[in-house]
Amino acid sequence: SSFTLALHGGAGTILRATMTEAREAEYRAGLARALHAGYAVLAAGGLALDAVTASVCVLEDEPLFNAGRGAVFNTAGTQEMEASLMDGRDWRAGAVTMLFGPKNPILVARAVMERTEHVCLSGDAAARLAEEAGLPFGDTDYFFTQARWDALAETLRLNAEGVDDGDESRKHG
Amino acid sequence: TVGAVARDAAGNLAAATSTGGRTAKLAGRIGDTPILGAGTFADNASCAVSCTGHGESFMRRVTAHELSARMRHRGEDLRTAADQVVMGDLAEIGGAGGLVAVGADGSFALPFNCEGMYRGHIGPDGMAWTGIYR
């Protein structure tokens, strides 16, 4: 009857050469906050689905991680977020893509699962569902992080020069 | 990309993944995160999986579902199946990244085939473990 939770948090440069102790501590603290959010649900006898939702919301709210508030930028200088979740009990699932506006895309994916007959919604349809569900929205300032904007400029420069520096983490945020 | 997988006290499994995608991706590009069976999958009879990395590779190898299928059809344990899909299938097509997975038995796996992966785990003792490199 024991429970367990694991998570990952794509956060940006991970190359040892550029990692600092301060940054590493920030990342680890963000991961730990997300772990404890899920733990609180499971320790109270809650559902795995609620635990993973709680953990991912914490990571989406932390601009260090490439999701929600810390989302990377595309070639057009805009942000398109994606999310999905799945319940192992009955294979129910929800997913969103091409989304901008709701602070927690994972909650929109959950709304797709719980409020529609569909599995995946994209773009404006997903944003409208989020409004109907009363989910909080952020504006472009809320989602802007200088580090992600700089990573976009760097990547576009390298692409223009046909250079691949192999820094997968900059690409993945 | 961020994600979480969990097994609750009743033995139910779930997975959740969220992302901003890839820096300088083409506007309109869809990655593995919203594609069930590629970036996210959960099935009480086998495992819950959440992936991160080069999304196109996870979509082509249908990584999350493949992990579950290896367990259900080949009888592999979670870690064996997870290592194969990350260190074998993905690496075979140059796909960088990793995943977190939890099994119906409460076991978990955190494999990755690149320099590092921000990852963490917590169990009934409430001790939060986090890792970055190997």
Amino acid identity of residue A11, one-letter, is A
Average pLDDT for consecutive 10-residue bins of chain A (173 residues)?
Answer: 93 69 93 98 98 98 96 96 98 98 98 98 98 98 94 90 65 52
Cα of B84 to nearest chain A Cα, Å: 19
Of all residues in chain B, the percent with pLDDT exceeding 70 is: 100
A17-21, B9-13, B34-38: least confident range: A17-21
A155-159, B30-34, B52-56, B119-123: least confident range: A155-159
User: Using a CB-CB distance cutoff of 8 angstroms, which residues of chain B are in contact with residue A89?
Assistant: 12-13, 44
CA distance A168 to A149: 16
A50-54, A164-168, B55-59, B78-82: least confident range: A164-168
Asked whether the beta carbons of residue B100 and residue A156 sit closer than 8 angstroms, the reply is no
Residue B100 has pLDDT above 80, yes or no: yes
Global ipTM: 0.98
User: Using a CB-CB distance cutoff of 8 angstroms, which residues of chain B are in contact with residue A7?
Assistant: 2-5, 50, 100, 119-121
Q: Are A39 and B5 in contact (CB under 8 A)?
A: no
Cα of B20 to nearest chain A Cα, Å: 4
Residue A156 has a pLDDT of 92
The residues near A79 (Cβ < 8 Å, ≥ 6 apart) are A71, A72, A73, A100, A143, B20
Tokens of B133: 């490199």
Asked whether the beta carbons of residue B18 and residue A67 sit closer than 8 angstroms, the reply is yes
Residue A18 has a pLDDT of 76
Residue A13 has a pLDDT of 53
The set of catalytic residues of B is 1
Task: Give the residue on A whose Cα is nearest the Cα of B95.
Answer: A168
Residue A173 has a pLDDT of 47
Tokens of B20: 């901003």
Residue A16 has a pLDDT of 66
Strand B47-53 to B40-42 pairing: antiparallel
Asked whether the beta carbons of residue B130 and residue A28 sit closer than 8 angstroms, the reply is yes
Task: Give the residue on B whose Cα is nearest the Cα of A95.
Answer: B34
Pick from B31, B41, B122: CB nearest A82: B31
Reading phi first (left if > 0) and then psi (alpha if -120 to 50, else beta), residue B38 is in alpha
Residue A5 has a pLDDT of 98
As a dihedral over the C-alpha atoms of residue A16, residue A73, residue B60, residue B72, rounded to 10 degrees, the angle is: 70
Q: Is B104 helix (H, G, I), strand (E, B) or coil?
A: coil
List phi, psi (to 5°) of A97. -150, 160
Tokens of B67: 């992990």
Residue B134 has a pLDDT of 86
Structure-model confidence comparison of residues A16 and B86, the more confident one: B86
